[in-house]
Structure formats: C-alpha cells, structure tokens
Amino acid sequence: LAKTTQPISMDSYEGQEVNITCSHNNIATNDYITWYQQFPSQGPRFIIQGYKTKVTNEVASLFIPADRKSSTLSLPRVSLSDTAVYYCLAGGADGLTFGKGTHLIIQP
Amino acid sequence: DSGVTQTPKHLITATGQRVTLRCSPRSGDLSVYWYQQSLDQGLQFLIQYYNGEERAKGNILERFSAQQFPDLHSELNLSSLELGDSALYFCASSEGLGFGNTIYFGEGSWLTVV
C-alpha cells in the first residue's frame, strides 16, 4: 500500500474549481488511486477512482500523470455542501489505509 | 445509502464491558472491512474478511476480534473496554478483492465507554 501525502486543509469559495493534489511516490504497478469524501459523523463516500490519465464522472475529475506518482482531484464549481474531508488512497485489494485527509472548507 | 447496514447506531457502555457491533454488507459483496475513527483521528483499518476468511489485519487490538458468518454478515467484538475505545466504528464492504475494488462504507456505530 503506497503512502500518500496531501495537504491538511484547503479553503475556497462557492463557484470556484478546487484541485486537491495527492502524492504517492511509491505507488505499485497494480495500485489504483481512489478518492473518498467524508462528512462529520458519516461514513466515507466513494468519489472517483482511476489508474492513469484522466477520469471524469458526474461529481469530479481525477488527473493522473504518466509517472503516477501524484494525482489531482478536481471539483468543479464547489458549493458550501462540499465542505468535507477528502481522502486519497493508492492501493490494491486489501486493507485500505486512510491518512489524515484534506479538510476542504468552502466559504460563501 | 451505501447499502451497508450497521447496528447499533449508538452504544454507551462501561469500562471493562464487552460489546458486539454488527454489519450487513451490500448485497453480493463478499469482502467486509472494519475501521475505527476516534475524535479528530483518521480512519484506522482494523481487519478485513473475505467470504468468511480473514484476509488482512491492521491495527486491531488483541481485545478486539471479528468474524464473518456464512451469510456474509460480520461482527466486531470489543472486550475489556477502556475509555480510549470510545470511537466511531465503521464497517465497509466490497464485491471482491481485485485491484480497483471499490469499498462502500456504512454509517457507523458510535461507541461511548464511560
């Protein structure tokens, strides 16, 4: 399981695009990159997952460069309800370990 | 709604006691995970079961144990409880073990030890 590093906190404003970058220098060949969102006192919620290049779904985009040593979660046009902790994970099938995550605060 | 069901939602018990937390995974999911989240702490992986067999073990204390039953539901047993065991305990499930496997979390069981 690759160790990940992401900013402890970020601030932004409603309507802005927010990019959260995660580094995973020792990612293994078979590791996928997955992002989760967690609100206080709730279980983490799957946002997006990718292996390389770019993945987009209805809520976010995930950019992964060719060397896969980092990834960027992009949240378009954030709202107050996007205030949450975002976790980046780089791993395989077993025992995913979450770090401290990035506490994203969206202001009006 | 993730489809993962945990009971009880809240539990208050005294030090030294034993409790059991229950988890029903999503329909069709064979893998179950248990996590602990203390106040202001990240999610700590405890243990994983796949189709009834222990698959991976994380930072699980010897006072804690888990099992997965033939119907795939899982129980986490916490014994000789201490104040520091007060936390939110999450169960999660996934379809299998393949790379790219997505894990879905329940809403957690709040345990308060007094």
What's the pLDDT tens digit per position in A58-72? 999 999 999 999 999
Q: CA-based angle A75:A80:A86, to the nearest 5?
A: 50
Q: What is the mean pLDDT of residues B49-68?
A: 94
Model confidence at A100, in pLDDT bands (50, 70, 90)? confident
Model confidence at A51, in pLDDT bands (50, 70, 90)? very high
Q: Please report the pLDDT score of residue B40 as a whole number.
A: 67
Residue (of A39, A35, A38, A71) closest to A52 by Cα position: A71
Nearest CA in chain A to B98: A93
Q: What is the largest CA-CA distance in chain B?
A: 41
The minimum CA-CA distance between A88 and chain B, rounded to whole Å, is: 12
With an 8 Å Cβ cutoff, are B2 and A45 in contact?
A: yes
Q: Please report the pLDDT score of residue B97 as a whole number.
A: 75
Residue A18: partners with Cβ closer than 8 Å, 6 or more residues away: A10, A12, A74, A75, A78, A82, A104, A106
**What phi-psi label fits residue A9: left (phi over 0), alpha (psi between -120 and 50 degrees) or beta?**
beta
User: B13-23: buried (b, 16+ CB within 10 Å) or exposed (e) per residue?
Assistant: beeeeebebeb
Q: 10 Å Cβ neighbour count for A63?
A: 16
Q: What are phi and psi of A38, to 5 degrees?
A: -135, 130
Share of chain B above pLDDT 90, in %: 80
Residues in chain A: 108
The minimum CA-CA distance between A99 and chain B, rounded to whole Å, is: 6
Nearest by CB to B104, from A41, A46, A100: name it: A46
Please identify which residue in the block is written with the tokens 């345990």.
B111
Q: Please report the pLDDT score of residue B99 as a whole number.
A: 63
To the nearest 10°, report the CA torsion of B76, B7, B43, A6: 150
Residue (of B72, B79, B74, B102) closest to B90 by Cα position: B74
Which of A8, A9, A97 to mutate to test binding with chain B, by most B CBs within 10 Å of its CB?
Answer: A97
DSSP lists the bridge partners of residue B32 as B49, B93
Nearest CA in chain B to A92: B99
Contact A29, A92 (CB under 8 A): no
Query: What is residue B102's DSSP assignment?
Result: P
The minimum CA-CA distance between A97 and chain B, rounded to whole Å, is: 6
A46-50, A85-89, B15-19 — most confident range: B15-19
Q: Is it the case that residue A106 has pLDDT exceeding 80?
A: yes
With an 8 Å Cβ cutoff, are A30 and B107 in contact?
A: no
A46 or A93: which leads in pLDDT: A46
Nearest CA in chain B to A28: B99
Residue B54: partners with Cβ closer than 8 Å, 6 or more residues away: B47, B48
